[in-house]
Copies of this chain bind each other. A is one copy, B any other.
Amino acid sequence: MKELIQPSLLADLQIKWTRLQEAMQLQHADGCLLSVDVNVYYTTAQIFSGYFYLPAEGKPHFFIKRPNGLTGENVHYIRKPEQLPEIFASVGLPMPESLLLEADELSHSEYLRIEKIFASSTKGNATALLRSCRQIKTPWEIDEIRKSAQAHQNTYSAIKACYKPGMTDLDLQHEIEYVMRRNGSIGLFRAFGSNMDIFMGSILAGDNAAAASPFDFALGGDGQHTSCPLGANGTLLTEGTAIMVDMAGNYTAYITDMTRIFSVGKLPEQAYYAHQVSINIQDAIIAMAKPGVACADLYNEAVRLVEEAELSAYFMGTKQQAKFVGHGVGIQINELPVLTPRSREVLSAGMVFALEPKFVLPGIGAVGVENTFLVTETGLEKLTCFEESIIEL
């Protein structure tokens, strides 16, 4: 037998429950029912198969299918979700008149099944609620992110030692993955949305950085196999190649994101120029960003600096250009807020986001810097601290 909720995490979880309840009350929702892994982890600091139910007022209930042996207040074991109304009735929990379900995450069939069980409730979108609340990190979440950032830095410090002449991008990636795992990487790399297939991160060397990908990540790459067309493709690392290393900071459930550029020998002057523009954009955004600033304004400032530097044709890709320069991180790599021209989000203290102004230079590869930042009361704190210039291998 094991406590479902770790006592040391209860106070932090209560912060999240309260925020979710306040948000539900604002939209006149009576409860939310969650079963998707990232939302279950967010609200319980555990993964289980079953349902987390939070009423708009009162304490949460935990309906667990597997694993067996978990205990705690309001922990109910079930075989199937059809048992929920009976348990609601037996513990005096009112059936919600308005219920939020994970509409953007549950499969259509799963959704219909739950919808039928709560046939008398009107339905709203719990995915939107969760993604909105998950933007603002709690003290424990920030600690977890700091741990990931520290391990991320430790791994990046070892990259130079991973390189041997004659390697391909994939060879280098395998060495870095090995270091990551030895440094505690959990391996899993969670992303929001369907078909966002990525394994442990991305290394782009030379012109592979320009290859268009089906995915909604910043850059592409042909990938190693047609079934996973993203990232390293076996490019030999030769003199003059820019090597963009964007490997996951998945050392806790909370991911950091960091990109650094390495080179074999010196790169053409254009690479150092564009790389410096990326650092200048980062500096400009650090100077601007604080609670109350609009994410769209940060994007627009980045674009203004790119235009001023006459690098628009290379910004965030060439053949296919991504229309963002940053994104929230947390349990998933693509959380809110997003730094896009159409973003309606405004920075708040406790948000954590990655800023990644990148350029793809034909014949050279990708350059630019990416770091993960915490929004504080007064500005930004950089969480991923490591040499930012182009590092010669």
Q: List residues of A whose CB falls within 8 A of some B CB.
A: 35-37, 40-41, 45-50, 65-69, 101, 103-112, 125, 127, 173-174, 177-178, 181-182, 186-188, 194-195, 197, 199-200, 211-216, 220, 224-229, 252-253, 319-320, 331
A67 to B195, CA, bound (A): 13
Report A381 CB to chain B, min CB distance, Å. 24
Q: Please name all residues of chain B whose beta carbon is closer than 8 Å to the beta carbon of A224 when the two chains form the complex.
A: 186
Q: Please name all residues of chain B whose beta carbon is closer than 8 Å to the beta carbon of A229 when the two chains form the complex.
A: 46-47, 67
A200 to B195, CA, bound (A): 18
| Given A69-B319, A227-B188: A104 and B104 interface contact (C-beta under 8 Å) | no
Report A71 CB to chain B, min CB distance, Å. 13
Q: Please name all residues of chain B whose beta carbon is closer than 8 Å to the beta carbon of A111 when the two chains form the complex.
A: 108
Q: Please name all residues of chain B whose beta carbon is closer than 8 Å to the beta carbon of A69 when the two chains form the complex.
A: 212, 319
Q: Please name all residues of chain B whose beta carbon is closer than 8 Å to the beta carbon of A197 when the two chains form the complex.
A: 37, 47, 188
- Chain B CB within 10 Å, residue with most, of A47, A195, A197, A253: A47
Report A304 CB to chain B, min CB distance, Å. 26
Which residue of B37, B174, B211 is within 8 Å of A195 (Cβ)? B37
Q: Please name all residues of chain B whose beta carbon is closer than 8 Å to the beta carbon of A109 when the two chains form the complex.
A: 103-104, 125, 127
Q: Please name all residues of chain B whose beta carbon is closer than 8 Å to the beta carbon of A104 when the two chains form the complex.
A: 107-110
Report A138 CB to chain B, min CB distance, Å. 16
Report A36 CB to chain B, min CB distance, Å. 7
Report A290 CB to chain B, min CB distance, Å. 31
- Chain B CB within 10 Å, residue with most, of A46, A67, A213, A252: A67
Report A117 CB to chain B, min CB distance, Å. 15
A334 to B119, CA, bound (A): 32
Q: Please name all residues of chain B whose beta carbon is closer than 8 Å to the beta carbon of A108 when the two chains form the complex.
A: 101, 103-104, 106-108, 110-112
Report A324 CB to chain B, min CB distance, Å. 15
